[in-house]
């Protein structure tokens, strides 16, 4: 286990066990402040899978916080969802007590399998919750940041405005649908897919979007391919099908492996690193937890565009993949000089 912790650079692992409540909280790096990260409530094939997931995601949150310039470390919680009948309220009360026991080193939030109602239950037991009902929905802020990132990528790569260009959006969840609205209002043409036909019908009606089957989204002629659903969708097989110049979306962990970034770079496809472009939600959660106003949040989200432009410029100058540049910048902040020396990090 210590070998696994070292491989992910995780500082702390906390385990909680009480009846049908089994949880892991991973704290990756606390240099910038208390760790903030979501709580997953899904079924896992094994304990080892749950632990690995928590550590991998906690590391990603540290990198995201570093480049989003928020005073947070990276953390992640995983509650192993029981099979069969269980008492959901009891599980989340116990989780709230677990979070409280860490004395503020970890601040939890919504993630896969958890809801605002779950966060409210946690909040009844802990002060350290950033996405309960009193905080608000981070989805519009995340979508705004992604939309600004798409526009920045188009300007850098194609030297054009988004008006009249085609964006293929894979997935119309809360963020994906809000992103579609932003881009439609900016004048983009949309191609969309989702497993939920009601969502695609709504996009077709509201945004005049072209709807395609989920299996066909990779084959669409477009300027921007925007993954907004599952992770790992950019892999050796799918990149052979893409007909785009840019990949920029709101999904987490879009690359199946880090080396896929090199393949995109070789194919001259500009990749906006996911944990940079989609960090508006983290900015929202951190800022609201610290009782900061919406004007501050909006200002910080706009700054994401500047960070992406730095990544694009350095990638071009140094002939390195964008994901490698972003990782080096984040690691410099976490382990070396800090925010003021980002450009010297690579």
pLDDT for 24-60, tens place per residue?
999 999 999 999 999 999 999 999 999 999 998 999 9
**Distance, CA of 230 to CA of 225 (rounded, Å):** 14
**Distance, CA of 26 to CA of 297 (rounded, Å):** 27
Q: Kindly provide the b/e burial profile for residues 170-196, where b requires at least 16 CB atoms within 10 angstroms of the residue's own CB.
A: bbbbebbbbbbbbbbebebbbbbbbee
pLDDT, position 275? 95
124 has pLDDT over 90: yes
Same CATH topology for 2-123 and 139-280+307-332: the answer is: yes
68 close to 305: Cβ distance less than 8 angstroms = no
Q: Which of 108, 146, 84 is nearest to 16 (CA)?
A: 108
pLDDT, position 290? 93
Q: Vertex 145, ends 201 and 269: CA angle to 5°? A: 80
The overall average pLDDT reported for the chain is 94
**Distance, CA of 109 to CA of 75 (rounded, Å):** 10
pLDDT, position 342? 46
The domain 139-280+307-332 is placed in CATH, from the list 3.40.50.720, 3.20.20.140, 3.40.50.2300, 3.30.2090.10, at 3.40.50.720
The yes-or-no answer on residue 76 being catalytic is yes
Token readout for 94 is: 């116990």
- What is the per-residue pLDDT across 142-156, written as a single tens digit (0 to 9) for each? 999 999 999 999 999
Task: Dump the DSSP string for 196-253.
Answer: -HHHHHHHHHHH-PEE--GGGGGG-B-SEEEE-S-SS-BSTTGGGT-B-SEE--S-SS
pTM over 0.95? The answer is no
Q: Which of 252, 304, 312 is nearest to 40 (CA)?
A: 252
pLDDT, position 338? 59
157 has pLDDT over 60: yes
pLDDT, position 337? 64
Where are the chain's structural domains?
2-123, 139-280+307-332
134 close to 119: Cβ distance less than 8 angstroms = no
Q: Which of 59, 64, 76, 199 is catalytic?
A: 76
Confidence of residue 346 (pLDDT cuts 50, 70, 90): very low
pLDDT, position 277? 97
Q: Which of 318, 284, 302 is nearest to 135 (CA)?
A: 284
Identify the CATH class of 2-123: alpha beta
Token readout for 76 is: 């992640």
- What is the per-residue pLDDT across 271-327, written as a single tens digit (0 to 9) for each? 999 999 999 999 999 999 999 999 999 999 999 999 999 999 999 999 999 999 999
Mean of pLDDT values over 79-100: 96
pLDDT, position 339? 53
pLDDT, position 7? 85
């Amino acid at each position: 286990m210590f070998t696994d912790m070292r491989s992910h650079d995780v500082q702390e692992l906390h385990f909680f066990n009480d009846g049908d409540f089994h949880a892991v909280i991973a704290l990756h790096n606390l240099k910038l402040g208390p760790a903030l990260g979501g709580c997953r409530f899904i079924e896992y094939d094994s304990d080892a899978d749950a632990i690995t997931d928590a550590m991998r995601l906690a590391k990603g949150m540290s990198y995201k916080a570093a480049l989003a310039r928020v005073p947070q470390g990276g953390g992640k919680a995983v509650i192993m969802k029981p099979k069969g009948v269980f008492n959901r309220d009891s599980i989340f009360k116990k989780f709230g007590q677990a979070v409280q026991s860490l004395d503020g080193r970890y601040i939890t939030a919504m993630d896969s399998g958890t809801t605002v109602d779950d966060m409210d239950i946690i909040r009844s037991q802990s002060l350290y919750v950033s996405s309960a009902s009193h905080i608000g929905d981070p989805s519009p802020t995340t979508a705004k940041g992604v939309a600004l990132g798409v526009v920045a990528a188009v300007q850098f790569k194609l030297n054009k405005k988004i008006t009249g260009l085609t964006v293929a959006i894979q997935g119309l969840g809360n963020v994906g649908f809000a992103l579609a609205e932003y881009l439609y209002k900016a004048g983009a043409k949309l191609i969309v897919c989702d497993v939920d036909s009601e969502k695609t019908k709504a996009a077709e009606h509201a945004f005049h979007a072209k709807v395609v089957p989920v299996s066909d989204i990779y084959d669409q002629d477009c300027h921007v391919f925007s993954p907004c659903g599952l992770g790992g969708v950019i892999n050796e097989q799918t990149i052979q099908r893409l007909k785009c110049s840019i990949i920029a979306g709101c999904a987490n962990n879009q690359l199946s492996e880090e080396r896929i970034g090199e393949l995109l770079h070789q194919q001259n496809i500009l990749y906006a690193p996911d944990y940079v472009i989609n960090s508006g939600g983290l900015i929202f959660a951190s800022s609201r937890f610290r009782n900061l106003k919406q004007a501050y949040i909006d200002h910080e989200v706009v700054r994401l565009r500047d960070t992406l432009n730095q990544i694009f410029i350095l990638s071009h100058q140094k002939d390195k993949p964008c994901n490698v540049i972003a990782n080096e910048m984040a690691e410099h902040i976490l382990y070396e000089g800090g925010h003021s020396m980002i450009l010297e990090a690579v």
